Amino acid sequence: MDWGQRIEDNGPKGLAMSVSLSTEPIKPGQWRGVRHDWTRAEVRALFELPFPDLIFEAQRIHRLHFDPREVQISTLLSIKTGGCPEDCAYCPQSIHHETGVKAEKLMALDAVLVEARAAKAAGAQRFCMGAAWRSPKDRDVGEVCKMVEGVKALGMETCVTLGMLTDAQAGRLKQAGLDYYNHNLDTSPEYYGEIITTRVYQDRLDTLKAVRAAGIHVCCGGIVGMGEGIEDRIGMIATLASLPEHPESVPINLLMQVEGTPVSKGQSTDPLDFIRVIAAARITMPASVVRLSAGRENMSEETQALCFLAGANSIFYGPKLLTTPNPDQNRDMRLLDKLGMRPMSD
């Protein structure tokens, strides 16, 4: 880009917006359009910005692509709980950890649709379904396809997270009408082996590739607070922002420490450090919906407000996230109302 070039972009609701750059060289992290070549040095420079500068840049970029007053509302349902053979150090559903979560069978279609109707009535736009599998069997995919079709018939967006997928399984989900597939990278490539040993980082990337090839939107983010260092947070954001296509949804989770999991005794995360991750995700992936995901139950209203200011524009709505608590929906609506914000329109 030439110095001083004027950027034209479409703002919220199609309103033309523009940003005039100064004649000074662009500094790391300054707006240069949607990029897929973010280096760790550039992402590190974002994390090192003074907090007011970082939030200002994140909010400015956020306004180029979204209405800053709107928040997407999604609901997450565990359709198959517990008994997962993976050893993810943060997950209470793993068979490797004594957390009191019992293995259950896949929910019946009718029961799932009852939950979906209730979620829609409560204002959710997207209905997400999670199953504790390493990878689903083909017969299980068939049952999930029926759930996807049923939820789509209600007029809601659909998302599932089922573990690793084959190309053929991704294709079947696409034919059923699946909108989004969630498969988080969790952390940096370097720290991944400290959190999970039953699969490798490339397995994650291969599933994302299969989902993309099938034409399904990607929901992919990570977790903060598992004992990782700042360089691991930088590496996670740099990896996500350097994918050939950015995930359409980027969930940023604050670890919910569950007794019995290996990371349940981890150190607490400074709220301002967490907010920096949100802001870095917004700046590096400007057109993606950044979801403030797990951990809100333990966040103050002030922390959540700063997360929205840093570019988060999606939350999970409802009393539970798979097996861990989530803020009451009335509490969420009171907070949004207090902030002058509202659920994202269809």
Q: Which residues are catalytic?
A: 84, 88, 91, 128, 159, 219, 291
- Residue 247 zone, left/alpha/beta (φ > 0; ψ -120 to 50; rest): beta
Nearest to 294 by CA among 86, 78, 123, 143: 78
Q: What is the DSSP string of 4-73?
A: TPEEEEE-GGG-EEEEE--SSPPPTTS--SS-S---HHHHHHHHTS-HHHHHHHHHHHHHHHS-TTEEEE
Locate tokens 């993606």: which residue?
288
- Dihedral class, residue 165 (left if φ above 0, else alpha if ψ from -120 to 50, else beta): beta
And the tokens for 92?
Answer: 């209470």
Q: What CA dihedral angle connects 11, 17, 18 and 19, to 10 degrees?
A: -60
DSSP code per residue over 162-192: -S---HHHHHHHHHTT--EEE---BS-TTTH
Interatomic CA distance for residues 252 and 233, integer angstroms: 11
Q: Are the C-beta atoms of residues 187 and 158 closer than 8 Å to each other?
A: no
Beta-bridged to residue 223, according to DSSP, are 253
Angle at 252 between CA 249 and CA 258, to 5 degrees: 130
DSSP β-bridge partners for residue 235? none
Residue 43 structure tokens: 């992402």
- CB of 318 closer than 8 Å to CB of 326: yes
Nearest to 256 by CA among 73, 92, 86, 94: 92
Separation of CA 254 from chain center: 11
Strand ranges for 137-265 from DSSP E: 157-161, 180-182, 217-219, 222-224, 249-254
Q: Is the CB of residue 224 less than 8 Å from the CB of residue 184? A: no
